[in-house]
Amino acid sequence: MPLDETLSAILEAVAADAPEMDFNTLTPEEFRVINGDYSEGGGEEVHLIEDLNLVNSDGEDMAIRIYRPKETDGRAPAVVFFHGGGWVVGNINSYDGQCRGLANSSGAVFIAVDYRKAPEYPFPTPPEDCYSALCQIVSNSEGLGIDPERIAVAGDSAGANLATVVCQMSRDRNGPEIKHQMLFYGCFDIDPDRWPSHQENIEGPVLPGAMMRWFYRHYVGSEKFIDEPYASPIHTEDLSGLPPAQVITAELDLLRDEGEAYAEALKKAGVETHYECVPSLPHAFLVFFEMVPAAREVMVTACERLANAL
């Protein structure tokens, strides 16, 4: 199906003012500026937003941002959120609007984690930081006013990769129990030659193939990296015992096929899994939820499933 008309008009307007990006010469810092990593965030009103620090996997300060959509009498369900950006760009400011919408739509406390990024901190630092954040959030649940027995993880793109890897790490290390994983258009493999959608959507909107390969090179040092399941979770030998999942892909996204395959692999391993491919939308459609009705509808419905799981 063709690209959603509303989003098509938005992307055309953005492209008119966007700088050219040559992925043979583009630096991570240049991309971070273009991506809005130094913005102040903002979006929907949320009942309460708090900025706190945890410590990363090396014992240094790691920022988190807590979104409380409503006042609660007791401990609230919580979702630990890992942002996208190819493990290289993005932070809690550039994803502030998206987290506000997710918190409001789900009614759960959302906790965004500012994990360290490649190439300064390549694999395995990002997943180790994310797992460390999960453990600290659960151990400090009383002070945070959240229910340690109602914890989920969520993420989009590279953040979905990190979210499901954190589920694997927590299972493998006897860590905190995770009730649900909500995964939007995730990267579940690092092998762009394996999946037909990588070629079908190689010049697709938002995430062209050259950009994805640039991310791979910065995160793991190559464009194919399948021997480490904490980087390429679809290659995990045993997916059983993971939390129930929802895996949401986009028709016009080059990551579509690996997302569908990961959902099927979870189902075969006995993991309760909801899968859907959203027509007419590209990668990163959640970014546009305030302007694109189809994107908001997907987000709201996914958050309803999340709320029911918690």
Query: Which position among 157, 170, 197, 232 bears the catalytic label?
Result: 157
> How many beta carbons lie within 10 A of that of residue 180, not counting itself?
23
For residue 283, indicate whether it is catalytic: yes
**232 classed as catalytic:** no
Q: Is 274 a catalytic residue?
A: no
User: Active-site residue among 114, 129, 253, 257?
Assistant: 253
Q: Using DSSP bridges, classify how beta strands 76-82 and 146-156 pair: parallel, antiparallel or unpaired.
A: parallel
Q: Tell me the catalytic residues.
A: 157, 253, 283
